[in-house]
């Protein structure tokens, strides 16, 4: 497992594609996914992109974001947990669930990389 | 040399940037490009604090909140410049005369690249505003995307890229001036 985090629009996906020599075909964009109609996430892709959106989908469906997570994947997530505590109950819970989930993923990852202005810093 | 500085608010970016600009100048003229156009007393107080912090550091202040390209012909090719901040510049370029200028970020990248090519050294100060839960309206989100585009474009050509966290520099690229 490898984890890439960073603020919005910092170039995380561009970095991952280049660093691992992958293409758009290797990317599962979690923003396009919901559990509606019994759908399951396609975690056969190498890159799980916008994982923070998957965490929200999981919360809405009442499942754990770690449940279907494969042993090997490149997880990319926006760092959404540094701002002011949101007033909205669901967004507030989402922010916390992202922090917990990504900390758990970081623990089982062989590398954690933070992207800042398009540049990587390996923090694990 | 180009140094690109970003980080959270009130974390000491400007003060470090000033020190690095002074080291880069090697005693040659030092200029400060102030990009904030004050709109209220809070802005004026912020500008006053920045002026006080620069006092005695021999910066020649150039107030330029928009159209950086227009000031380039007047610049000192041997001078060292500090621009504080890219964030305010993009705000002015993007939101003016009651319109949202969609070309602002691309134009600012062009202007800043032209600026770097016209002076001996330059230090840019930007702001790291990308790590909350987002979900902004399209104008705010467009501004975030625009500033990130400038940050990444300039970080690519910068000799040194540094994040300031609680006044501690974290270097992502290159090295800081001795």
State the pLDDT at residue B63: 94
Residue pair A114/A6 in contact (Cβ under 8 Å)? The answer is yes
Mutation site, B90, B130, B153, interface A, largest A CB count within 10 A = B130
Per the CB < 8 A criterion, the answer to whether B15 and B135 are in contact is no
Structure confidence at residue B89 (pLDDT) = 97
**Predicted pLDDT of residue A5:** 94
Query: Chain A closest CA to B130's CA: distance in Å?
Result: 5
pLDDT at B135 over 90: no
- Which burial class, exposed, middle or buried, applies to B139 when counting CB atoms under 10 A from its CB (0-12, 13-18, 19+)? exposed
Contacts of B133 in chain A (CB under 8 A): 80-81, 83, 86, 91, 94-95
How does residue B110 score in pLDDT terms, banded at 50, 70 and 90?
very high
Element (H, E) at B164: strand B160-165
Average pLDDT taken over every residue of chain A? 93
CATH number assigned to the domain with residue range B2-173, chosen from the 4 options 3.40.980.10, 3.90.1150.10, 3.40.50.300, 3.30.450.60: 3.40.50.300
Q: Which CATH number fits the domain that encloses residue A88?
A: 3.40.50.300
Which residues does residue B60 pair with via DSSP β-bridges, in sequence order? B31
Q: Which domain holds residue A48?
A: 2-122
Q: How confident is the model at residue A85 (pLDDT cuts 50, 70, 90)?
A: confident
Separation between Cα atoms, residue A42 and residue B115, nearest integer Å: 47
Helix (H, G, I), strand (E, B) or coil at A44: coil
Q: What is the pLDDT of residue B144?
A: 93
A84:B132 CB<8 A: yes
Determine contact: A95 vs chain B, CB below 8 A: yes
Give the tens place of pLDDT for each residue, A27-48. Answer: 999 999 999 998 999 899 999 9
Give the pLDDT confidence score for residue A44 in this predicted structure. 94
Q: DSSP assignment, residue A109?
A: -
Q: CB distance B173–A91 less than 8 Å?
A: no
Band the pLDDT of A56: cuts 50, 70, 90: very high
DSSP character string of B77-122: TT-EEEEE-HHHHHHHHHEETTEE-TTHHHHHHHHHHHHHTTSSEE
Provide the number of structural domains found in chain A.
1
Per-domain residue ranges of chain B: 2-173
Q: In what order do the strands lie in the sheet with B2-7?
A: B59-63, B30-34, B80-84, B121-125, B2-7, B160-165, B168-173
**Each residue of B28-86: pLDDT tens digit?**
999 999 999 988 998 899 889 888 888 889 999 999 999 999 999 999 999 999 999 99
Chain A CB contacts of B129 under 8 Å are: 7
For position B134, what pLDDT does the model report?
78
């Amino acid at each position: 497992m490898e984890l890439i985090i960073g603020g919005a629009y910092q170039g995380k996906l561009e970095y991952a594609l280049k660093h691992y020599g992958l293409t758009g075909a290797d990317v599962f964009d979690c923003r396009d996914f919901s559990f509606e109609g019994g759908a399951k996430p396609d975690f056969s892709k190498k890159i799980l992109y916008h994982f923070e959106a998957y965490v929200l989908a999981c919360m809405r469906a009442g499942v754990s974001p770690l449940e279907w997570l494969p042993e090997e994947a490149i997880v990319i997530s926006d760092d959404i947990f540094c701002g002011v505590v949101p007033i909205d109950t669901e967004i507030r819970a989402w922010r916390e669930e992202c922090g917990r989930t990504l900390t758990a993923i970081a623990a089982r990852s062989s590398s954690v990389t933070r992207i800042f202005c398009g540049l990587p810093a390996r923090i694990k | 040399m180009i140094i690109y500085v970003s980080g959270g608010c009130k974390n000491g970016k400007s003060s470090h940037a000033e020190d690095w600009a002074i080291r880069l100048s090697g005693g040659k003229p030092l200029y400060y490009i102030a990009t904030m156009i004050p709109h209220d007393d809070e802005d004026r107080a912020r500008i006053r604090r920045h002026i006080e912090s620069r006092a005695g550091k021999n910066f020649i202040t150039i107030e330029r909140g928009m159209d950086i390209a227009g000031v380039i012909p007047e610049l000192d090719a041997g001078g060292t410049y500090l621009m504080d901040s890219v964030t305010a510049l993009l705000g002015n370029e993007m939101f003016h005369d009651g319109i949202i200028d969609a070309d602002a970020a691309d134009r600012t990248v062009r202007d800043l690249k032209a600026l770097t090519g016209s002076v001996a050294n330059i230090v840019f100060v930007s702001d790291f505003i990308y790590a909350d839960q987002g979900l902004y309206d399209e104008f705010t989100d467009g501004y975030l995307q625009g500033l990130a585009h400038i940050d990444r474009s300039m970080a690519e050509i910068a000799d040194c890229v540094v994040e300031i966290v609680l006044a501690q520099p974290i270097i992502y690229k290159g090295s800081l001036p001795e």
